[in-house]
Structure formats: C-alpha cells, structure tokens
C-alpha cells in the first residue's frame, strides 16, 4: 500500500508540482504517469524558481528516482532543453529514467495540432499547440514513435517510410502546409538518440521492485480530472487520462498497491483553453484573482480563466478517482475577500443537477447555485498548522471537505515549500 496517487481535481494547474515536490521528500520514487509537455509546473525552493514540463517534480530531491512513465508523450527537443536548464541550475539527473514505452512527439505533430485547431474555427479547443493530441492519436492508431525507437534507428527509419507519407498527405493536400522528409527527421532524431540514450530504460523491474519492497512511490499526474479524455468536459479536454485510472495505467502499477489518492484542488478554480466552466467570474473580481494568484499559463503564458470553487466538480473528482485526501492550494489568494462563494449545485433548464454532465450543450448552460461564506481578511501566508488559520478560513476548509466528501489534509498558503500545512499522518 505504498503507492500514492497525486492528481488534479479540476482543470489542471492546481499546484500539483508543489505538492509532489513536498511528497517526494519522503518518497523513493516519483513516476510522471501521463500527459506531455502541454503541462507546466512551477516549484519554488529557497526562493529559486524551477519550471518543469516533463520531468517529475521529485527531481529536486537527489535521492528520489524519477521516472517518465509509459503513459507520457514527450517532445525530445523540449525534454533536452528542460534537462539542460535543470543541469545548469545544479539539479542531479543521475536518477532520471525515461520509459522506452513513452511516445514521442514528432515534428509534424505540433503543425497538425495548429492546423486542426484552425480548421475547427469557432469550436476550437484552445490546445497548447504542443502536438500532444496528434501524438496520442497516432499512439492509438498504432503509428506512433516510442522513446525506445531511439535505440533502434533502423526500425525508426523503416517506420518513418510508412508513416511520413500519411502525414505529408494531410499536411500538403488538406492544409497546404510544408511537408517533411525522412532524411531530415532521421537526422534530427538520431541526434536526440545520442543525447537521451543514458536515460532510456525499461522501468518495469525498477517499479515492481520498489512496489514489492514497500517503497513510497508517488504517481504524479498532469492536467486534471475535468480535462480527462473520458471523464472531463469532452471535447474540451486533453488527450490523456489525468484520473486515477490513467495514473495506474500510465505507470504500470495495479490498484491493490494504492494506499492514498490525493486530489489537488485550488481554493478557487481556473481553466485555460475553451469549454464549459460553470463558476467562471468575469469582470473585476475575476481580474483581481487572476492578478493576485498569478494565473498565467506556465507553458503558454496565456491568462487563465478564473472562478469560484466548484464543489460539484470536487465531489465528482472525489468520486471518479477515489480521492481520500484533498490538498487545497493557494488559500492565501482569497485572503482579502470579504465574501467567498462556493458552488454547491447547478440548475439546467430548471432541473437541479449535482454533477457535471456529459452533454456539452447542457454543461454550457448550467446555472450555478452558490453558498456564501465570510472571508477572513487577514494574511494566511504565515500559517503552518490549522490552528494558525483564522476561524473563517477553517470554516471554509471544513465546508470544502464536507461538500466534496473528502478530508482536506494539505493546505498551501504560498508558493514556498514551508508555506504548507501538512497532516499529522504523513
Ligand atoms: P492539449 O492538451 O494541448 O491538447 O490541450 C487541450 C486542453 O487541455 C486545452 O484546454 C489546454 O489548455 C488544456 N491543457 C493541457 N495541458 C494543460 C495543463 O497542464 N494545465 C491546464 N490545462 C491544460
Ligand atoms: Mg500547470
């Protein structure tokens, strides 16, 4: 029961990076289980800021083995830039392992991502343009390239000869975009192969060994439950499974070993990209929270949409993932508000609804119902235990726990490692 799943309960950017970094302190292994370099984490250690797209947040703990799991898609170019940046900041990369089963983003994937978005017109999704969706589509079509292919360049070349004409056909004929040659891609990926070779492995024995020994293994999710391909606000979702099931499949670990499932939630809600967001705030309050919470994307710099905490979303995420611990982040962003609202239910065409539904046109027209709580109007940034929090803030946490149906075990009151209230049983 040594495996801990740490996943996003909302639309991503809940602050999983900071929480995983904290959890990693007592972990022997961190596995990034899904998603690609569409994700972005910011971790602040001793006033230094580290940004990650692909590498597990546990990398800042030198003794922790960090695995990029089979469920991930990665752009080798982006990964190499990230490795260089981390190395120049003094991070130790000895313990990094990249699964040979992880898929690669190929040079045509970001181009196709952009072209598909353009073709959707008003119905565009607001993707990160990193090629993540097209790479996962190719994985399912069984024409994807895996990291392990970098160690079999003849095989990679043979596959390119078959796959590239399909891609060039779409690029050239459908989108009138420039096409690619086998030679150029092969040269580029041969170079990546030589630089990434030392990290590429079959992590199966390593992971099974860790689980068998009872080591603490953290599964680091990317994005969030409402962006899950099956469970989220389809089609306004990412192309992987940020939910608990996806974490296990993306790491290659069975559910029997899971001891705790931590859902990370922001004390309010944000979303980047398009799609339904029932509690979205427009106007000055939304702008205030965006500025105070620095709600701009780590990967794309886009301003995030901002809204109240949605307890229906939280309850849904608790249910579909089996969350038994909530980590609530950015509580301090609410410090100055006089009144704080929580969405407790919805109305759709006069009918009450208690969870986000599958039908996108219904979801778009949900009317949220709110409960109002008084704010605390004091800084929480120095709080290190629950007793340090103003009574109104504790009332807010209690209400979140009650409505979501899970304990709130971690509370983050600022970006620093120390700005965290941790549970006694961790
Ligand atoms: P894609 O994953 O780039 O295909 O984008 C699909 C949707 O997921 C868009 O709304 C993106 O903004 C959103 N998305 C992808 N990755 C993240 C993330 O790490 N945080 C928040 N939103 C994300
Ligand atoms: Mg992020």
Structure tokens at 386: 């629950």
How many C-beta atoms surround the C-beta of residue 181 within 10 A? 11
Structure tokens at 350: 């006069």
Contacts of 331 (CB under 8 A, 6+ apart): 267, 380, 393, 396, 397, 411, 412, 413
Helix (H, G, I), strand (E, B) or coil at 297: coil
| Residue 418 pLDDT class (50, 70, 90 cuts) | very high
For residue 235, say if its preceding peptide bond is cis, omega within 30 degrees of 0. Answer: yes
pLDDT of residue 91: 87
262 φ, ψ to 5°?
-100, 125
Range with the poorest average pLDDT among 24-38, 308-322, 352-366: 352-366
Work out which ligand 1 atom sits closest to the CA atom of 113.
4
Helix (H, G, I), strand (E, B) or coil at 209: helix
Q: Provide the β-strand partners of residue 50.
A: 43
Gap from CA of 13 to ligand 1 centroid (Å)? 10
Dihedral class, residue 285 (left if φ above 0, else alpha if ψ from -120 to 50, else beta): alpha
Work out which ligand 1 atom sits closest to the CA atom of 8.
20
Residue that has been written with the tokens 């009151």 in this structure: 413
| Residue 45 pLDDT class (50, 70, 90 cuts) | confident
pLDDT of residue 40: 87
pLDDT of residue 298: 81
| pLDDT greater than 80 at residue 319 | yes
Integer Cα distance of 124 and 273 in angstroms: 9
pLDDT of residue 30: 98
Catalytically active residues are 13, 41
Gap from CA of 96 to ligand 2 centroid (Å)? 21
Q: Which residue has the higher pLDDT, 51 or 395?
A: 395
Residue 67: which H helix or E strand, with range? Answer: strand 65-68
| Residue 243 pLDDT class (50, 70, 90 cuts) | very high
Ligand 1 pocket, residue 17 CB under 6 Å: no
Q: What is the DSSP letter of 302?
A: P
pLDDT tens digits, one per residue of 257-302? 999 999 999 999 999 999 999 999 999 999 999 999 999 988 788 9
Range with the poorest average pLDDT among 18-32, 33-47, 212-226, 382-396: 33-47
Helix (H, G, I), strand (E, B) or coil at 45: strand
Ligand 1 pocket, residue 269 CB under 6 Å: no
Integer Cα distance of 305 and 337 in angstroms: 18
pLDDT tens digits, one per residue of 322-381? 999 999 999 999 999 999 999 999 998 889 999 998 888 888 889 999 999 999 999 999
| pLDDT greater than 70 at residue 18 | yes
pLDDT of residue 44: 84
Integer Cα distance of 341 and 372 in angstroms: 5
Structure tokens at 285: 């309050």
How many C-beta atoms surround the C-beta of residue 175 within 10 A? 15
Integer Cα distance of 257 and 247 in angstroms: 13
Closest by CA to 285, choosing from 276, 273, 293, is 293
| pLDDT greater than 70 at residue 76 | yes
pLDDT of residue 46: 84
Ligand 1 pocket, residue 39 CB under 6 Å: yes
Q: What is the percent of the chain where pLDDT is above 70?
A: 100
Tell me if 264 sits within 8 A of 23, measured CB to CB: no
Work out which ligand 1 atom sits closest to the CA atom of 300.
12
pLDDT of residue 1: 65
């Amino acid at each position: 029961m040594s495996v801990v799943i740490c996943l996003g309960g909302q639309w991503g950017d809940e602050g999983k990076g900071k929480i995983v970094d904290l959890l990693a302190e007592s972990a022997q292994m961190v596995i990034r289980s899904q998603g690609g370099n569409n994700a972005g984490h910011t971790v602040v250690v001793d006033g230094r800021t580290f940004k990650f797209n692909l590498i597990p947040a546990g990398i800042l703990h030198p003794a922790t083995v960090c695995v990029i799991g089979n469920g991930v898609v990665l752009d080798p170019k982006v990964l190499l830039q990230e490795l260089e940046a981390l190395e120049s900041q003094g991070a130790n990369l000895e313990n990094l392992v990249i699964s040979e089963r992880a898929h690669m983003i190929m040079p045509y994937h970001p181009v196709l991502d952009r072209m598909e978005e353009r073709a959707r017109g008003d119905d565009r999704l607001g993707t990160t343009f990193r090629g993540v969706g097209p790479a996962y589509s190719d994985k399912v079509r069984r024409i994807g390239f895996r990291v392990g292919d970098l160690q079999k360049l003849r095989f990679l070349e043979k596959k390119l000869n078959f796959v590239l004409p399909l891609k060039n056909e779409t690029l050239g004929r459908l989108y009138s975009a420039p096409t690619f040659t086998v030679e150029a891609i092969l040269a580029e990926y041969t170079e990546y192969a030589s630089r990434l070779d030392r990290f590429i492995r079959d992590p199966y024995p390593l992971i099974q060994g860790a689980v068998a020994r009872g080591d603490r293994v953290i599964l680091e999710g990317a994005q969030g439950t409402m962006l899950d391909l099956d469970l989220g606000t389809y089609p306004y979702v990412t192309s992987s499974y940020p939910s608990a099931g996806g974490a296990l499949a993306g790491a290659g670990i069975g559910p029997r070993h899971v001891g705790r499932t931590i859902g990370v939630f922001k004390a309010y809600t944000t979303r980047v990209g398009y799609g339904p967001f029932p509690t979205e705030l427009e106007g000055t309050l939304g702008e205030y929270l965006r500025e105070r919470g620095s709600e701009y994307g780590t990967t794309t710099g886009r301003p995030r949409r901002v809204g109240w905490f949605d307890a229906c979303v939280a309850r849904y995420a608790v249910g579909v993932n089996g969350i038994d611990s909530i980590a609530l982040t950015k509580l301090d962003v609410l410090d100055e508000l006089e009144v704080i609202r929580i969405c407790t239910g919805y109305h759709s065409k006069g009918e009450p609804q208690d969870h986000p539904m599958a039908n996108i046109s219904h979801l778009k027209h949900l009317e949220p119902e709110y409960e109002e709580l008084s704010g605390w109007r004091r800084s929480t940034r120095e709080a290190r235990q629950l007793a340090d929090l103003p009574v109104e803030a504790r009332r807010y946490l209690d209400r979140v726990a009650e409505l979501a149906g899970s304990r709130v075990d971690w509370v983050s009151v600022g970006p620093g490692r120390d700005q965290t209230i941790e549970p006694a049983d961790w």
